[in-house]
Structure 1
Amino acid sequence: MKLSVSGRAMVSVAVATVTLLATGSIAGAAPAPERAALAAAPDLPVANVKAHLAQLQSIATANGGNRAHGRAGYTASLNYVKGKLDAVGFTTTVQSFTSGGRTGYNLIADWPGGNANQVIMAGSHLDSVTSGAGINDNGSGSSAVLEAALTVARTNYQPTKHLRFAWWGAEELGLVGSRYYVNSLSSTNRARINGYLNFDMIGSPNPGYFVYDDDPAIEKTFKDYFAGIGVPTEIETEGDGRSDHAPFKSAGVPVGGLFSGASRAKTAAQVTKWGGTATAFDRCYHSSCDTTSNINDTALDRNGDALAYAVWTLSS
């Protein structure tokens, strides 16, 4: 997650939104009672997500300790993700841009099939800050989105809507990659995106469970999932639009998301609700200690499964 201009750590996670019909059902999807039956989302194996995190850690270690924009660690991270997707049948596109005198890259992966006029996107930023490997921020989101895409291929999922996955560059410099992508879309192609789901910091070591309230239908999708596993949620307030959902929202695309907390301290009430300690959700936020030891496996597992549930539900 990027910092606000004031320097205060601000984080946001976004999940795609969809338009509600007058009946309260999602546009282009089955009514609410049928959606649960349609959304037979598979479990996202947390061991697989952690294996991707280990690879991102190894890449950072071999490339000066980070995976930041314009650095070798970022390019290697993108190549790792792209190679996994190419091997299972995704159509991948690398989009380049320039920021701060360095070349950056977005990776877009389309799953063949589905209604091209109704697109559901899930994305995350792949870059870290220069001070560390960025394993929670944002290897966690990037790895979960990757595993969701691989699970689509492994299960040969054939959704009604078209599925697109994305990994953004230079988020830490001000949402540069995602803004470049959105601005490059024609108005027609922007209108085809029914929803963009963003995942940024979903494995914080002292986690909370935050859901964005940008869209009622997406908010309900995530709340329903967490209610089903008995985990209370709160509306996300720490980020206030400072992640890759923001350019989509500004362009009129429905958005929303999940987040497990950054530098803000967990309150006593939140400790009672979720456990943990009354300290920062992520004490290693934007620091060199944001390594594979800076991940809460339970939060990563729950948020990864919620990601899969949303993708399957909203694309059905």
Structure 2
Amino acid sequence: MRHRPLVVAGLVAALSATAVLTATMAQADTTPVRLVAADPPTIPTSAPLVHIGDLQKIADANGGTRAHGRPGHKASVEAVKAKLDAVGFKTQVVPFNHAGAQGWNLIADWTGGDENNILMVGAHIDSVTAGPGLNDNGSGTSAILEVALQVAKANLKPTRHLRFAWWGAEEIGLIGSSAYVRALPAAEKSKIKSYLNFDMVATKKVKKWGVYSDGDKALAAEIKAWYDARNVPTVPLDINGRSDHAAFTRAGIAASGVISEDSLSNLDPCYHKACDTQTSLSPDALGLATNMIAGVMWKLSGAKVAARS
């Protein structure tokens, strides 16, 4: 009984300390939040390689291909969608039919930004029937996926609305991207101000990066400037409408992109072949492309993050 005053005193002291801590936390929670310019992340090469490995496993489990109309294509779409859903993207799978087979486009929007000023980034997710298509175009698929995950990791607050797309049936005529643009009402189409396309960005022994010259010159200049700042050689390359930027260009939307080739007449030796596997591509080229996409996208989107004053 004689120790009771000490116990009470201790209890009072503890309650007082708790009250002070609670008040301090409450005060911290009400500190104004402001948006500050965000630097692009430095993305390790290992990050997009994880997605490359997943696509290789999907191809291996589905007859060695991820082509339109094949189970490997659907499984690729589902795998990418699951990763985006897990970090808070609003995703939509848009089906279409071509050549008697079902195909899918995957669209992913990051909440926020001006929805009347959309910056869109895309890559085709299908392969040819002959192989798994890990450079063409598992590389573009994986690069923009990793950039999307970095957007979520940073909880980015862009000035412009960000939209990512993975196109189906590119290899048989740019079908998915063309169907998407064609189906957009005029009012929605006018909201997309810029489109960046990434198709084959991990070719081994790349000498110069081909920056699309058959698209918007200002966007091409942004891509070139990123490489120039790092002393990476580029060359203007007329893709001649052979990738998914073509549908956007035809619709009057500013579009550009890059490829890890300096000529369309001397492509990756495994181009459209069974040997286009994860071992046939360049991890360094993939890592460089992924960081370029992030750098250009952060700049063009007016990327910001929340900070407490």
**TM band (smaller chain):** 0.7 to 0.9
Residue 204 of structure 1 aligns to a residue whose secondary structure is coil
Pair 1:298 & 2:246 matched: no
CA separation in 2, counterparts of 1:38 and 1:201? Answer: 31
Paired residue type of 2:103: G
Paired residue type of 1:63: N
Residue 300 of structure 2 aligns to a residue whose secondary structure is helix
Specify the alignment match of 2:233 in structure 1. 232
**Contact 1:85/1:150 (CA < 8 Å) preserved in 2?**
yes
Specify the alignment match of 1:217 in structure 2. 218
Residue 163 of structure 2 aligns to a residue whose secondary structure is strand
Residue 138 of structure 2 aligns to a residue whose secondary structure is helix
TM-score, length-normalised on structure 1?
0.81
CA separation in 2, counterparts of 1:124 and 1:302? Answer: 16
CA separation in 2, counterparts of 1:262 and 1:202? Answer: 12
Shift of 1:39: 6.3
Residue 135 of structure 1 aligns to a residue whose secondary structure is coil
**Contact 2:209/2:262 (CA < 8 Å) preserved in 1?**
no
Residue 135 of structure 2 aligns to a residue whose secondary structure is helix
Paired residue type of 2:300: L
**Contact 1:38/1:313 (CA < 8 Å) preserved in 2?**
no
How big is the alpha-carbon RMSD for the aligned residues of Structure 1 and Structure 2? 1.5
Distance 1:263 1:220, change over 3 A: closer
Paired residue type of 2:231: G
Paired residue type of 2:196: L
Counterparts of 1:257-272 in structure 2 under 5 Å?
257-261=257-261, 264=264
Pair 1:202 & 2:201 matched: yes
Shift of 1:260: 0.8
Counterparts of 1:1-316 in structure 2 under 5 Å?
38=37, 40-207=39-206, 208-213=208-213, 214-237=215-238, 239-261=239-261, 264=264, 280-316=266-302
Paired residue type of 1:165: F
CA separation in 1, counterparts of 2:223 and 2:152? Answer: 23
Paired residue type of 1:215: D
CA separation in 2, counterparts of 1:263 and 1:217? Answer: 21
Residue 164 of structure 2 aligns to a residue whose secondary structure is strand
Shift of 1:285: 0.2
CA separation in 2, counterparts of 1:263 and 1:134? Answer: 19
**Contact 1:179/1:247 (CA < 8 Å) preserved in 2?**
yes
Larger radius of gyration: 2
Shift of 1:206: 2.8
Residue 93 of structure 1 aligns to a residue whose secondary structure is strand
4+ residue segments displaced more than 4 Å: 262-265
Higher relative CO (CA 8 A, sep ≥ 6), structure 1 or 2? 1
Specify the alignment match of 1:21 in structure 2. none
CA separation in 2, counterparts of 1:221 and 1:260? Answer: 16
Q: If each structure's strand is expressed as a fraction of its own residues, which one has the higher value?
A: 2
CA separation in 2, counterparts of 1:44 and 1:190? Answer: 32
Q: What whole-Å deviation, never above 9, does each CA across 1:67-102 have from its counterpart, x for those lacking one?
A: 000110001100100000000000000000000100
Q: What whole-Å deviation, never above 9, does each CA across 1:273-300 have from its counterpart, x for those lacking one?
A: xxxxxxx441000000000011112211
CA separation in 2, counterparts of 1:43 and 1:179? Answer: 33
Paired residue type of 1:195: S
Specify the alignment match of 1:11 in structure 2. none
Q: What whole-Å deviation, never above 9, does each CA across 1:243-276 have from its counterpart, x for those lacking one?
A: 00001110111000110129846xxxxxxxxxxx
Specify the alignment match of 1:22 in structure 2. none
CA separation in 2, counterparts of 1:310 and 1:67? Answer: 29
Paired residue type of 2:284: T
**Contact 1:106/1:168 (CA < 8 Å) preserved in 2?**
yes
Q: What whole-Å deviation, never above 9, does each CA across 1:158-195 have from its counterpart, x for those lacking one?
A: 10000000000000010000000001101111110010
CA separation in 1, counterparts of 2:252 and 2:264? Answer: 29
**Contact 1:131/1:286 (CA < 8 Å) preserved in 2?**
yes
Unaligned runs of 5+ in 1: 1-36, 266-279
Q: What whole-Å deviation, never above 9, does each CA across 1:102-143 have from its counterpart, x for those lacking one?
A: 000000000001000000000000000000000000000000
Shift of 1:38: 4.8
Paired residue type of 1:259: I
Residue 310 of structure 1 aligns to a residue whose secondary structure is helix
Unaligned runs of 5+ in 2: 1-35, 303-309
